[in-house]
Structure formats: C-alpha cells, structure tokens
Structure 1
Amino acid sequence: MAVRIQDVVEALEAAYPPELAESWDAVGLVCGDPQAVVQRVLFCVDPVEATVDESIDFGAQLLVAHHPLLLRGVHGVPADDPKGRIVHRLIRAGIGLYCAHTNADSAVHGVSDALAAALGLTVLRPLAPHAEGAQTGLGRIGELTEPEPFRDFVQRVANSLPTTAWGVRGAGDPERPIRTVAVCGGAGDSYLATAVAAGVDAYVTADLRHHPAGEHLSRADVPGTRVPALVDVAHWASEWPWCQQAADTVAAALPDTVEVLVSTRRTDPWTVHAGAASDPGRALA
C-alpha cells in the first residue's frame, strides 16, 4: 500500500506533538498535498536552497526540516523572494515541506535528547520541564559514565558534532571534573539560570552571547553558588543530531515503505574562522 505525505506527518506528530510547540511557532505541513505518494524523505535542520537541491538530487517527495520556513506572517510568496523561491521550487519539483520546531525541542526523545546521545550522556530529566515531574520540556540533564576534565569534555563535544567554522568554545577551569551536564539544542542562554539551579557541572548550548555568559560566570563569586562551565557550539551543529533521530522515527513507523536520508549539507551560515594573529606583537597580554 502506497505511503502518502499524511502518513509521514502522522508518524512525526505522534513523536513530536504539535501541541508542544510554543504559541509563537509555526509547525506542520508548509506545502505539499497530504495525499501525495511518498517514496523518499530527506531530513534537515534548515529549509534552504542547499537542502532543496539535495532533496531534488535524492528524488525526495518530502523534506522534513527543524527550522520553520515561514515563521512570521507573510502576505505572499513571490518567486523573486528568497523564501517564496523555495516554496516555488518545492512545488515545481513535487516536494512537500514539513517543519517540526519547538514541538521537537520539547518532546520526549526530541532535539536535546539527540544532542545528549551524541555526547554520550545518559539523560535523567528535562532541564526546563513543562510541569513538575513532566518528561516533556526544553533541554535535558544527563550524566557521563565517568567524570572527565573540562578540557577533555570540550574536545568530546567537538568530536561528537559536525565540524563548523564557528567551532566549539569552552568557558571554565580546564581541569574541572565534569560528570553532570545540561544541554539545550539551539540558542539556550535564556536557560543559564536554570542550569545553575540544576547544579550541573557543565552546560552545552548554542549562540551564547558575551554579556549573558560573562554575567553567568561572575556568579561563581557568590558564596554557595555552583556555576556550571559553559560550552558554546554552532546552532546548526547542536540540532543536526535530531535529523537522524527523526529519520529513524519515520523509518520505524513506516518500515520497508519509505527511504529516508539525513542531509549532509552544512547549512550553518558561518564559513570562515580566523585563528590567532600572525604577528605575535599584535596580541594583547
């Protein structure tokens, strides 16, 4: 029996219920006929030109993305607009687009679970549960099998995620033992205080800004406050492990009926990383 877009949507929404999405979010089927037959599905973080190209090359009938294409209200999708062009290309190629964003962030076995698994963590509970005792919520708290120095943990993170120009940065004592870890896929500096309250050794997230990070670290001067070390990674890299998780979810729900593929196109916007100045005299003490 032929699998249709609606069948894939039902499998995704069973795993990542739309009601878990934040009120401001835009999740669900963006374009495509729910009754269209699906043989191949591509999974990615960003619905951009590169992943549309990859979908066409793969012969996919459905592109599943984490980030929404049309997050804010629009009044048109003309083909000479960047987002409109993507919609037109998908429709012309007969490819549907489905987006699972904050519902995938908050679901059990969601984005942060995939990040934790990539880092070798055993997940214990959500970082910011929807309710006391709930298993749904943003971020995850997990632990390593054995403690390791912070410098080694930062290297573990770098080894576990796709390489990006942004790289992986650590803030904290390089020799500090790390065992319990909070993670939050995507931009997570709004949960710095939550990570402090959780009493973890380190917090891994993306897009950490100068002032929130500096203010967080300064709290170590407050008696009785345990401040986790920080690991900052590229936003795209922190969410990319979810793609395989979502692909496995669909494959398990619709066994031997659809072919799934995880995008290998690096859609992180940063392309160049410069190291230390070549002239040592330019460096500050």
Structure 2
Amino acid sequence: MAAVTHNADVFKAMETWAPKYLAYDWDNVGLQIGSFQKPVKNILISLDVLEATVNEAIENNVDLIIVHHPLFFKSIKQINMDTAKGRIIQKLIQHDISVYAAHTNFDAANGGMNDIMCHLLGIQNADVLDKNYTERLVKIAVFVPRTHADEVRDAMSRNGAGHIGDYSHCTFQSQGQGTFKPLEGSDPYIGNQGELEFVDEVKIETIIPAAKMTPVIDAMIDAHPYEEAAYDVYPVENSGEVYGVGRIGTLDEELALKTLCERVKKELNVQNIRVTGDLDRKVKTVAVLGGSGEKYINKAKHMGADVYITGDMTFHTAQDAREMGLSVIDPGHYAEKVMISYTKSFLDNYFAEDLNILVSQTNTDPFQFI
C-alpha cells in the first residue's frame, strides 16, 4: 500500500524551499485554515484565495490550496457568512479544504519569487535588495562507530547540515577511539554491561544553520546505532547566508528602457505596464521586487540601479524616483502569478507522482484595462 501524504508533509516540503523564519514579522505565513494531519491528494496552486478560487477547488475535489498571498493578514473578530470573507471560510470548512500561504518567506527564499523574476528577465549576479535576515550558524560534532559514519553523515546532510555555497555534505572527519561502560539497565549496541568497551570511532564535524538544528539532530540520532549518541553543539562566529526581499543585478548587455519594458511584458505575461523615464535611455543594472515595493526606491537607487521593477507604485513615489534619476517599471501586483508554475514544478519533483498538482485557472487580478 502506498504511503499516505498529509498536509504536514507538503508544508515540510514547501519550508525546505521557503523556511517560515524568513518571513517578515508583520506577515502571516504557513497554515491559514485546516489541519496538519489531513490526508492530501489534490492540491491547487493560486496567487490568492478568493471565493472563485474556493469554488474552483470544490469543483476539482481539492484538499489543499497553496497561495502566495495569505488569506488572513490580521486576526478576525467575527465570521459573517454574509460577507465574501465569511463565505470563503464557510466553504473551506464545509468542504474540508486547507489553505497554506508562503508569502514574504517565499519572496526572500533562494529560488523564490524574486529569483524567479530575475531568471525570467535575464538579471544576473543578483544580490539581495533589502537584507533583513542573517543565518546564525552552529557547529555540531558527533562521535559514531566507523562502520556507520557514512550513514550518519548522509542523514545529517540530507536534513540541512554541511551546506556551504553550492556544495553539500561539507564535513570534517577524524578518527580515534571511544570508550564507554554499559551500566545496569542499558541495552548497548556494542559491548556488555559492566565491561569497558573500546570502539574505533569517527568524529564528524559540520556547520548547521541554527534554525535547522532540530531536524539535523533528529536525523543523526535516528541513523546512529548507539542507544545514546554522543554529540556536541558549539556556537560559531561565522555569518551565515543573508536573506531578504528584492534583488539587484545586471543584464547581460545594455538595453533601451523600452526594450526592457517589452521583455517584462512578455516574460511576466502582463498586457500593460507603467513606466517612468526616458524610453530610449540605456539601462543595465536592474532592481526587482515582486508585489508592492515602492518603499525601497531609495535603496534601489543607492545600490546603483538604473531601473526598478516593482508593483503598486503610487503617483508621488513615482515622481520621487524620476527626480532621482531612477526609472520605474510597474507591471502590477498580479505579475507575481509567475510563482504558480514554479511551485507546481517544485512539488511535482518533490512528490513524484504521489500528488495531483493543479494550476488555478481563476484570474484574481482585480484590474482590467480598457
């Protein structure tokens, strides 16, 4: 019988890509409504949860909706079925449909929203625009019989230990001899109660982001043959990876602003954009921030951007950007819909053929252009 996949398994997968700790403190990410333990077979991916999205989920027997924009940003004080929000909640509960949101954590994640946009638009060598989180690192050292070193090392690495840059399984190993005497009540893997045992062991040392310490230690203990694994955890002064929203990088060649505008329309699949600045001006350094990014215009300019691509630009902020010599391309907030196909691909690869991943056909853009 095939193993049953639960919501918690899907959430765990999403959080290997977009860990919840990357979310801004004002955000509300993760499970919005539903249960961690619900079995899941059909998943719908959408940018938002509107009533039409829920109706689409019901029609397709969906168990879980994964969205970028949270269903709840603030706590609710009543559930009024006469309102759209109340009907959404009612239908989700009645049809046992869960909702999970990956928002600013997805924006900040490696390979998340802003990296997707950079990839689509040909922005290379991208750095973080707004750096708000630096990983805290720790070092773990575990002593394991030489016969089980490979198994323990691999279990730790698969759960997040020993990742440095583009490399995984980064460890240092030294060999020595461990001693222990099993006491009454013990159940030793090696040796006998009351007798001092000498074992050829390997000390495996590796670096872990502190946020991943629990799953790494759990995996190490599961793979370790001893009844009681001996290990140490040390704080280190090394700085981990820096995360945040937005990216800034360069195009492979200078382009006229008008040409870049056409690329944005094509690659982000939007019919209309707004733009400030001289359309014939050549641009090369580009900042991008999916969603509403107008408050970062000064940061984009300070970091050397010729043009800033973001949504929801307001009149006076656009004027300020133009006056400081920063061109702005506004493809709208709905441009973030590019996350849908990438999230489907990620989950298809992660779960192979175990789940049926559906792409929402509901247009959640409130605007139309005439």
**Other-structure match for 2:292:** 187
**Other-structure match for 2:361:** 264
How many Å separate the matches in 2 of 1:203 and 1:10?
Answer: 33
* Shift in Å, 1:150: 0.7
**Other-structure match for 1:234:** 332
How many Å separate the matches in 1 of 2:119 and 2:273?
Answer: 17
How many Å separate the matches in 2 of 1:236 and 1:104?
Answer: 16
How many Å separate the matches in 2 of 1:150 and 1:264?
Answer: 32
How many Å separate the matches in 1 of 2:30 and 2:294?
Answer: 26
Which residue among 2, 19, 22 is the counterpart of 2:21?
19
4+ aligned runs moved over 3 Å, structure 1: 131-135
How many Å separate the matches in 2 of 1:72 and 1:35?
Answer: 25
Cα 1:135–1:109 shift into 2, 3 Å: farther
The answer to whether the Cα contact below 8 Å between 1:70 and 1:83 also exists between their aligned partners in 2 is: no
Residue 247 of structure 2 is aligned to residue 140 of structure 1: yes
How many Å separate the matches in 2 of 1:29 and 1:102?
Answer: 14
How many Å separate the matches in 2 of 1:55 and 1:131?
Answer: 35
* Shift in Å, 1:50: 1.9
Structure 1: where are the runs of 5+ without partners? 220-226, 275-285
**Other-structure match for 1:243:** 340
**Other-structure match for 1:283:** none
Greater Cα offset, 45-54 or 181-190: 45-54
Q: Normalising by structure 1, what TM-score?
A: 0.86
Output one character per residue of 1:117-155: Cα deviation in whole Å (capped at 9) or x when no partner.
222323521111225884410101132222211111111
How many Å separate the matches in 2 of 1:48 and 1:65?
Answer: 11
Residue 83 of structure 2 is aligned to residue 81 of structure 1: yes
**Other-structure match for 1:209:** 314
Structure 2: where are the runs of 5+ without partners? 135-239
Q: Normalising by structure 2, what TM-score?
A: 0.67
How many Å separate the matches in 1 of 2:55 and 2:84?
Answer: 14
Structure label with greater radius of gyration: 2
What one-letter code is carried by the residue in structure 2 that aligns with 1:228?
A: L
**Other-structure match for 1:281:** none
* Shift in Å, 1:244: 2.1
The answer to whether the Cα contact below 8 Å between 1:111 and 1:242 also exists between their aligned partners in 2 is: yes
The answer to whether the Cα contact below 8 Å between 2:22 and 2:133 also exists between their aligned partners in 1 is: no
Residue 303 of structure 2 is aligned to residue 198 of structure 1: yes
**Other-structure match for 1:176:** 281
How many Å separate the matches in 2 of 1:83 and 1:94?
Answer: 16
State the aligned residue count: 263
How many Å separate the matches in 2 of 1:160 and 1:244?
Answer: 13
The RMSD of aligned alpha carbons is 1.8
Query: 3-state SS of the aligned residue for 2:122?
Result: coil
The answer to whether the Cα contact below 8 Å between 2:321 and 2:328 also exists between their aligned partners in 1 is: no
Residue 116 of structure 2 is aligned to residue 114 of structure 1: yes
The answer to whether the Cα contact below 8 Å between 1:61 and 1:94 also exists between their aligned partners in 2 is: yes
Residue 107 of structure 2 is aligned to residue 105 of structure 1: yes
**Other-structure match for 1:66:** 68
Cα 1:126–1:24 shift into 2, 3 Å: same
Aligned-residue sequence identity (percent) comes to 34
